[in-house]
Structures are given as structure tokens and as C-alpha cells.
Amino acid sequence: MSERILVINPNSSLSCTDGIAAAIAPFAAPGLPRLDVTRLPESPGAIVTWRDWYGVAEPLCRMVEAEAADAYVIACVSDPGLEAVRTATDRPVFGPLRCAVAAAMMRGERFGIVAFTDKSKPRQRRALQSLGVEDRLAGIVPLNLDMEVLTDPVAPRARIAAAARELVAMGAESVILGCAGMAGHRNFAEEACGVPVVEPCQAAVAQAILAVVSARGAGMRLAAE
């Protein structure tokens, strides 16, 4: 069976799922794992509240148990269900927020987050606490836009640009787009604010590809032995 990375959007938004697929499309290439993108059809249209965040954990576990893959990405930038899903498989599971933070810190000492809404901030801060990197955070600026506005190719761009520039003014040397709904706006945001901008689904897929490709060497050694 060919290698496969399953990218799961834990919300039900079609436009968000399509945006994620477009953002990671450049990572597909001959010799690399196949990238499949799916969603949870019965989930909320966006992961906004703690109830949403906790509510998708069990459906994510069931999907991972039913869908064989070499690695999984939970494509929401508050990493819902990450710990639970890791108990449902022995394959690597990646959370975009944690991967994006690692990528952002490789590009500068301090980073900022353009958040989906004010309600995103506590969940994202908890992830930063778990990583021990709160002191590297310059700030979080929420957009407070609906998901379908956020995924529009034009409508949210003025607000995204303003938020990214505000973070740079706060001392951010890199900026994280804090919702998968912003996946199509990375290049624009980077041009607008003048510092590196990290799209978290891309960051997580990059780490998933690394994990799967690195595991080939282990298999080859075992075969040789």
C-alpha cells in the first residue's frame, strides 16, 4: 500500500476544507506520501467554543480508527482532540498550532497569532503553555469573522493585513495564521506585514511528511537485518 497522510478538518465547512486542500497541494510530489483531505460532516461549521473543541475529540478518534494512514494531521489551529487521537493510533498525529509555533520560532525570536475569534485565545494559550513558549508570544489579535467570510478569497484580507501589521508593531518577528480558514491568505498576509507568515496546516503537513519519509529508513534497516 502506498504511503498516505490523512488531513482531517474537524469542522464541517466545505470552503474551509477546500482551502486546506489548496494550501497543502504544493506538498504533493512523486516519491512523497499521498495527501488526502477530509472533514467531519456532522461537526460544527467552525471550532469556536470549548464545547466544540471537546466535542470533536471522539469523532476524530473514530475516523482515525477507521481510516488507515501513515500519519494524521488534525487541521484546526487549536489542536482539538490531539491527545485523544494519539491514543487511538500508533501512527504520528500532528496538531497545526504546535507545528506552526515550532516553525515560527525558527524564523524569529517572538511570534504573533492572528486568531479566529476572541474565544480562540484561551485554547491557543493552553497549547503555548504546554509547549513552554508563552514568553515568546508577542500577542494574539482576533479577527472575529464568520468562517465563510474568512474563507472568501477577498473579503477578510483588509482585516488580516491590519491584524498582522498590529502584531509586528507589538514585536512579532513572525506571524501565525491562527485558523485553517485563513489557509488561502498566507502569501497576502506576508506581503502585507513584511515578516514571515506561517500557515499551520502547511507546517503540520511538512512535519508529517518528514515523519513518514524518515520511517522508511527504519524499515529498510529492519529488512536488512
51: enclosing H helix or E strand: helix 50-55
Angle between helix 157-169 and helix 186-193 axes, rounded to 10 deg: 50
Average pLDDT over residues 89-107: 97
The pLDDT score that the predictor gives to residue 170 is 98
191 Cβ neighbours under 8 A, 6+ residues apart: none
Average pLDDT over residues 202-219: 91
Query: Distance between CA atoms of 2 and 19, rounded to whole angstroms?
Result: 25
How many alpha carbons fall within 13 Å on the CB side of residue 45? 9
203: enclosing H helix or E strand: helix 200-224
Other C-beta atoms lying within 10 Å of the C-beta of residue 214 = 10
Average pLDDT over residues 90-115: 97
Question: Is residue 151 scored above 90 in pLDDT?
Answer: yes
User: Which of the four pLDDT bands, split at 50, 70 and 90, describes residue 144?
Assistant: very high
User: Which of the four pLDDT bands, split at 50, 70 and 90, describes residue 217?
Assistant: confident
Which domains are delineated in the chain?
4-95 (3.40.50.12500), 97-201 (3.40.50.12500)
143 Cβ neighbours under 8 A, 6+ residues apart: 114, 115, 116, 117, 150, 156, 159, 160, 163, 179
Could you tell me if 148 and 175 are in contact, meaning their C-beta atoms sit under 8 angstroms apart? Answer: no
User: Which of the four pLDDT bands, split at 50, 70 and 90, describes residue 182?
Assistant: very high
AA letter at 188: F
Q: Of 11-15, 73-77, 78-82, 213-217, where does mean pLDDT reach its minimum?
A: 213-217
The pLDDT score that the predictor gives to residue 103 is 97
Its sign, for the CA torsion 146, 147, 153, 159, is positive
Q: DSSP 3-state helix, strand, coil percentages of the chain (rounded to 5)?
A: 50, 15, 30
Give the rounded percent of residues in the chain with a pLDDT score beyond 90. 94
Other C-beta atoms lying within 10 Å of the C-beta of residue 149 = 12
Average pLDDT over residues 134-156: 96
Question: Is residue 223 scored above 90 in pLDDT?
Answer: no
Query: Distance between CA atoms of 148 and 134, rounded to whole angstroms?
Result: 30
Average pLDDT over residues 69-96: 97
User: Which of the four pLDDT bands, split at 50, 70 and 90, describes residue 218?
Assistant: low
What is the maximal distance between C-alpha atoms in the chain? 58
Average pLDDT over residues 134-163: 96
